[in-house]
């Protein structure tokens, strides 16, 4: 079952597509947002119910602002000041990635455009972040929905709350989440787990990084991605594990037939549209119903992070000649 904070008595149903239903959802959101302080939104049951019912595109960025509490972090004038600092070392990479990952959104391409400016400002503000193309994917997608400065503060909030460890020189959190993801795949589908991690010897971190450091941008169709982000901003990182499990389930037959690591990774990172449920809400239903104990994942993340830190410290202290213990995984989720 999905965790209590977002589960309901019955599985969420596909949202009505009528214009009237869309307008009613929009009205409900606009009425609710002023009544629920952003700092309390992720614990509010009415917010949960509306998220499961759907978020109209007309109010989505406002909902994301609310869920991320980005306005509380926003300091007037800071974004502009950060943009005036010297170019960050990754400036050219950002500029190239903007064109690569958003070929049709030419407004994101210029060296002084919103995407390069946003990441230039963020990397100046948080210089210990290791740049990777996932940052461009996430920031660029936010800019397609939000005004530039609002997108910056939503991005900063998402990074602070959930994502910064994935872009650190220290890879501990990615190693931990990769191990937990591989165990969750084993629990849900031992045959696929064996094919991926034994037959093809795919490093667990390769799959986790492809998904988690991009928040599935480029993997999911846009409307599916929006629904995943709606829930991710409410519930947090455990949703990413659920999405990964759902994708494995969607392309299971292709994975079992795959004859190479490259083919398997292609199915996981770019699943054929025909393999996905027919609508974004149907996919979200599948995500929410995956077999995963979210509280156990949260507890194991903390426990395993401490374990990996101890192992790393042991190696740093000159124990390279000693064999360190492997990560201890729970039997089930």
Mean pLDDT on 153-158 = 96
Tokens of 295: 């509280």
Is pLDDT of 15 > 60?
no
Read off the pTM: 0.87
Alpha-carbon distance of 187 to 194, in angstroms, equals 11
Alpha-carbon distance of 65 to 137, in angstroms, equals 18
Same domain, 120 and 142: yes
Same domain, 145 and 240: no
The verdict on residue 184 lying in a domain is yes
- Enumerate the H helices of 54-166 as residue ranges: 60-68, 70-73, 78-83, 91-101, 114-125, 133-143, 148-158
Distances (CA, A) of 136 to 72, 73, 105, 115, 265: 24, 21, 13, 7, 21
Q: Residue 18 has what pLDDT?
A: 73
- In the block, residue with structure tokens 């978020």: 55
Number of structural domains (the chain) is 2
- In the block, residue with structure tokens 């609508």: 279
Average pLDDT across the chain, whole number: 88
Tokens of 245: 């499990």
The verdict on residue 26 lying in a domain is no
Per-residue pLDDT tens for 195-234?
999 999 999 999 999 999 999 999 999 999 999 999 999 9
Same domain, 135 and 87: yes
Higher local confidence (pLDDT), 275 or 325: 275
Same domain, 177 and 276: yes
The verdict on residue 25 lying in a domain is no
Same domain, 236 and 281: yes
287 Cβ contact partners less than 8 Å away, ≥ 6 residues apart: 228, 231, 239, 242, 243, 245, 246
Mean pLDDT on 143-166 = 95
- In the block, residue with structure tokens 């999911």: 220
Contact 267, 42 (CB under 8 A): no
Q: Domain containing 291 — which CATH number?
A: 1.10.472.80
The verdict on residue 13 lying in a domain is no
Per-residue pLDDT tens for 73-84?
999 999 999 988
The verdict on residue 54 lying in a domain is no
Is pLDDT of 176 > 80?
yes
Containing structural domain, residue 99: 78-167
């Amino acid at each position: 079952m999905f965790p209590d904070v977002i589960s309901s008595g019955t599985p969420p149903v596909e949202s009505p597509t009528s214009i009237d239903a869309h307008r009613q959802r929009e009205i409900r959101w606009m009425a609710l947002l002023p009544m629920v302080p952003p700092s309390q939104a992720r614990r509010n049951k009415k917010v949960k119910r509306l998220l499961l019912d759907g978020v109209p595109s007309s109010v989505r960025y406002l909902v994301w602002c609310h869920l991320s509490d980005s306005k509380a972090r926003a300091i007037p004038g800071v974004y502009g000041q950060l943009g005036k600092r010297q170019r960050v070392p990754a400036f050219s990479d950002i500029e190239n990635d903007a064109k690569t990952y958003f070929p049709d959104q030419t407004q994101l391409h210029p060296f002084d455009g919103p995407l390069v400016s946003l990441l230039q400002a963020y990397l100046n503000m948080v210089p210990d972040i290791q740049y990777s193309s996932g940052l461009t994917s996430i920031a660029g997608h936010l800019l397609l929905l939000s005004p530039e400065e609002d997108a910056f503060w939503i991005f900063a909030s998402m990074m602070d709350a959930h994502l910064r460890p994935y872009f650190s020189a220290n890879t501990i959190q990615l190693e931990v989440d990769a191990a937990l993801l591989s165990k969750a795949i084993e629990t849900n589908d031992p045959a696929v787990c064996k094919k991926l991690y034994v037959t093809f010897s795919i490093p667990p971190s390769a799959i986790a990084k492809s998904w988690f450091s991009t928040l599935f941008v480029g993997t999911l169709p846009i409307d599916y991605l929006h629904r995943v982000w709606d829930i991710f901003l409410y519930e947090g990182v455990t949703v990413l594990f659920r999405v990964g499990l759902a994708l494995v389930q969607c392309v299971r037959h292709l994975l079992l037939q795959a004859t190479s690591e490259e083919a398997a990774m292609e199915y996981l990172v770019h699943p054929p549209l025909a393999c996905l449920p027919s609508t974004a809400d149907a996919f979200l239903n599948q995500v929410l119903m995956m077999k995963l104990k979210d509280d156990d994942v949260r507890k194991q993340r903390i426990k395993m992070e401490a374990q990996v830190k101890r192992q790393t410290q042991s190696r740093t202290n000159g124990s390279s000649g000693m064999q360190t213990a492997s990560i201890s995984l729970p039997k089930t989720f």
